[in-house]
Amino acid sequence: MKNRLISGIIFIILGLFIAVGPQTVFPVCGVHTAAQSAEQTSMPMNSQETDQSEQCAADGDAMSASMNMMMKCHGTGQAALGLGALIAVSGVLLILLRSKQTRLGLSIALFLNGILALLIPTALIGVCDGAQMSCRMLALPALTILSSLAIIAAAANAVYLYQSDKKERQKNEAAAVNH
């Protein structure tokens, strides 16, 4: 009971921070206009985006100045929301389910979810390129730390559950042989 409660609460907290953090505490960028994103990043837009913007301006498109573009970190925040919710729900299941083998399976799933939560801001989707962007200064380190903690906690819980289940099976086998 003690392991179920402690590990479940840890994953609920980590999952909630991963889910809600990029929306509130360590915010990621949202939808920006092309002009805002060019001003906020220290790196200019790539040549293809610049050519497209010039083409729109040449065509007299009034929307080119306020063209909305989704920042990479916005996608990272949305993915973190889903993964964090999944981690938190798995934490609730760790508390509710009694079977060690089922909890071991959940811990392995949590380990893999933690790896995915780590890869999203670092390799799969990423964050903005600008060094001064809040997503790079706040969200990337926070998500990296929280994901790493989830990976470590899931691995430790899986090892603990595997070893305790193995000891319990050996104890039951020894008792069956003695009778």
Condensed to tens digits (0 to 9), the pLDDT of residues 85-112 reads 999 999 999 999 999 999 999 999 999 9
127 phi-psi bin (left φ>0, alpha ψ -120 to 50, beta other): beta
Radius of gyration of the chain (CA): 23
Q: Which of 38-42, 43-47, 116-120: highest mean pLDDT?
A: 116-120
In contact, 138 and 76? CB cutoff 8 Å = no
Whole-prediction pTM value?
A: 0.77
pLDDT of 34 reads 45
Q: What is the pLDDT of residues 49-63, one digit of tens each?
A: 444 444 434 444 444
CB atoms within 10 A of CB 43: 10
Confidence band of 68 (pLDDT split at 50, 70, 90): low
| Residues pairing with 69 in the sheet | 32
Which two structure tokens, joined as six digits, stand for 48?
């293809």
Q: What span, in angstroms and rounded, lies between the C-alpha atoms of 146 and 144?
A: 6
Give Cα 65 to chain centroid, integer Å: 33
pLDDT of 33 reads 42
